[in-house]
Amino acid sequence: MIQDIPKTFRNEYTPVDPQGDDIVFAFQGHTFLAKEKDGLLICPMYKEIQGRVQYLFAIGSTHYFLALDPQKSTKYDWLSVRTLRHTQPKTLQFAGATAYHLYTWYQKNQYCGCCGAKLEHSLHERAMVCPKCKNIIYPTIAPAVIVGVIYKDSICMTRYANRPYKGHALIAGFCEIGETPEQTVIREVHEEVGLKVKNIRYYKSQPWGFDSNLLMGFFCDLDGDPTITLQEEELAKARFIPRDEINDTYQDLSLTNEMICVFKKGDKI
């Protein structure tokens, strides 16, 4: 999956001064500054970027920073963040998604929600601090579940109703207050397709910086009637697809894709 990179990801907040070859991510809305050629992604180094930067994290011996005053560049283009989903190297793909997660958090937390004062970067931890009322805001991480509902030799696959992604998906949804991930599985399956499930079992998890999520994958078995009642506000389609009719191939990116392919192969789940 996207987080399975060959070098060690170090997310502890230990800011260092940027060096010339360190990588800088510059975002504007849903675009970022980079260039792509034949599926290979190249992002600017610090020595190529002007303006202020904010320390993000390190991968191996390389430190990554966020441009606070992104400027135009004659060497790089503004690419859609979705470009990160189909480019290499994988380390830069994961770094870009994680940097985008932090960028969106910084963008949405510039002023204190308690008193309205301008927030400041903490010098000691990854947080925004209000100099007036001392309110502290930490990065937003939204937990959500991905659910593979199994019925005999089939799995319930869906297509989203109002999202850019039109490929196969599984039932998914955010954890609500006061519930465990397993309870989220039961609730989301019933809400989206009107089914009951049993034998809920954890598979794997994944950070998904594109949407500020922490995803948790579960498989479960249908409990009772297989008739689907579609929640049309969320889904355009949902049906049980037999294992031998699944055409999806492994992309080594998302938890959803891996779960579909694991079921397709017949691995023990």
From first to last of its 269 residues, the chain has per-residue pLDDT tens of: 999 999 999 999 999 999 999 999 999 999 999 999 888 999 999 999 878 999 999 999 999 999 998 887 789 999 999 999 999 999 999 999 999 999 999 999 999 999 999 999 999 999 999 999 999 999 999 999 999 999 999 999 999 888 777 789 999 999 999 999 999 999 999 999 999 999 999 999 999 999 999 999 999 999 999 999 999 888 999 999 999 999 999 999 999 999 999 999 998 88
Last residue of a domain, one of 107, 122, 152: 107
CB proximity list for 267: less than 8 A, separation 6 or greater: none
Strand positions, DSSP E, the chain? 9-10, 23-25, 27-28, 31-37, 40-42, 53-59, 62-67, 77-80, 120-121, 128-129, 136-137, 142-151, 154-160, 171-174, 197-208, 213-222, 235-242
Q: Rounded to two decimals, what is the model's pTM?
A: 0.94
Last residue of a domain, one of 139, 161, 180: 139
Single-letter amino acid, residue 156? C
115 in the same domain as 75: no
Beta-bridge partners for 64: 23, 57
Q: What is the pLDDT of residue 71?
A: 81
259 in the same domain as 181: yes
Characterise 199 by phi-psi region: left (phi > 0), alpha (psi -120 to 50), beta (else).
left
Within-domain flag for 3: no
Within-domain flag for 227: yes
Q: What is the pLDDT of residue 50?
A: 77
Q: How many structural domains compose the chain?
A: 3
115 in the same domain as 103: no
40 in the same domain as 117: no
Residue 19 CB-half CA count within 13 A:
7
152 in the same domain as 128: no
217 in the same domain as 114: no
Q: What is the CB neighbour count within 10 angstroms for residue 111?
A: 13
Backbone angles phi, psi at 235, to 5 degrees: -120, 140
Backbone angles phi, psi at 168, to 5 degrees: -70, 145
Tell me the pLDDT tens digit for each residue of 18-64.
999 999 999 999 999 999 988 899 999 999 987 899 999 999 999 99
Q: What is the pLDDT of residue 70?
A: 86
Q: What is the pLDDT of residue 265?
A: 95
Q: What is the pLDDT of residue 56?
A: 98
Q: What is the pLDDT of residue 245?
A: 96
CB proximity list for 99: less than 8 A, separation 6 or greater: 25, 27, 56, 64, 66, 209
Sign of the torsion angle spanned by Cα atoms 126, 130, 131, 133: negative
Domain limits at 168?
142-265
Q: How far is CA 189 from the centre of its chain?
A: 21
In angstroms, the CA 94 to CA 1 distance is: 9
Q: What is the pLDDT of residue 68?
A: 94
**125 CB burial (10 A radius; 0-12, 13-18, 19+):** exposed
Within-domain flag for 4: no
**Residues 98/104/110/115 CA torsion (nearest 10 deg):** -100
Contact 168, 156 (CB under 8 A): no
164 in the same domain as 76: no
